[in-house]
Amino acid sequence: MISEMHKVTSDFLQLLISGGETIDVEFKGQEHAALSDHQLIGALVCMANRLSSKSGWLLIGVEDDGRITGTRPRHNNITDINKLSALIASRTRPSISPNISVCQIDNKDIIAIEIDPQEQIISTSDGVFTRRIIGGDGKPSCIPM
């Protein structure tokens, strides 16, 4: 749930983006190709299984280098937050219900998905278990559990 300190505004998102990718922040750009449902669910499961007491953030429309390129609409010419929530709930086990917002930065839409710390391990509905770690190179990555 979005706390009073974490209201999703363009200023808040710019603050997250300026810090780069971390254990709690993942960027998914769509400059070259749309993010598939499979890729989205994989990224969410990975973030849900990180070791952190903070909310995690998946920002769609931000490239790995922090450039804001904007997201592609997920449902025809819009992103329907209710449909996106239903997709996530139906493809995670146990189901997770993250907070989803669409915000604009520099006239480009960013989908911000907040993932609360989880009390149990989450998988995809296909039984894939991954977790987010800081790798040997100092960069965040997803590894199998």
Residues ≥6 apart with Cβ < 8 Å to 89: 95, 96, 97
Positions of the chain with pLDDT lower than 70, given as ranges? 1-7
What would the pLDDT profile of 101-111 be if each residue is shown by its tens digit? 999 999 999 99
For β-strands 140-144 and 108-115, DSSP reports them as unpaired
CA distance 132 to 47: 6
pLDDT given at position 7: 64
Of residues 33, 17, 35, the one with CA closest to residue 25: 17
